Amino acid sequence: MKNRQYLFLGFLFIILCSNILAQDFTVPRRYSFRRLEDFRRYESDILRCIEYLEQAPVNDLSDNRRRINSFLLEWLTDVPYVQVRINSAVMDLCRENTNFLIIFMGGWVKYSLSHSDDNEIVNGYLAGIESILRVYQRGNGVIEDSRIEGLIVIQRNGKLRDWVLEQL
């Protein structure tokens, strides 16, 4: 239940602050997430959606981006086999670049779908943080953020997993 509350808050946060122009991914029409098969059927679309979000300029705005965010969040809200956890440390990393919240969730989802036998929270969290760092380092419209630059240094020193463990 708490997971849904955080996802709903994340959804509102992203919809209100969405800044990415999405041209290369189009949300499927008439999708439905009712049965387990529905979630499985759209996994490849979810992965393409996440890939696009990681590559797209962070500072553009479009209705298509909002539809992509909604599609991913609707899937994630009720999917029975992936659970993303968001805490204050993640929210702090998303202050300057608001779209990093969906990037974090996408990184976690991508990891979970690729490693279905791994339910360790630390690994999902780490994958989400690494997605944020990749997008930040790519530039592409991001706003400079000393917190994330500090994490890049931590990552270069091989201590990112330790940092993640401290946040959990």
Residues 26-39 pLDDT 10s: 889 999 999 999 99
pLDDT single digits (tens) 110-146? 999 999 989 899 999 999 999 999 999 998 889 999 9
Average pLDDT of span 88-112: 95
Interior/surface letters 49-74, b for 16+ CB within 10 angstroms, e for the rest? bbebbbebbbebeeebbbbbbebbbb
Confidence of residue 16 (pLDDT cuts 50, 70, 90): very low
Total domains in the fold of the chain: 1
Assign residue 80 a region (left: φ > 0; alpha: ψ between -120 and 50; beta: otherwise): alpha
Q: Which domain holds residue 94?
A: 2-167
pTM above 0.75, yes or no: yes
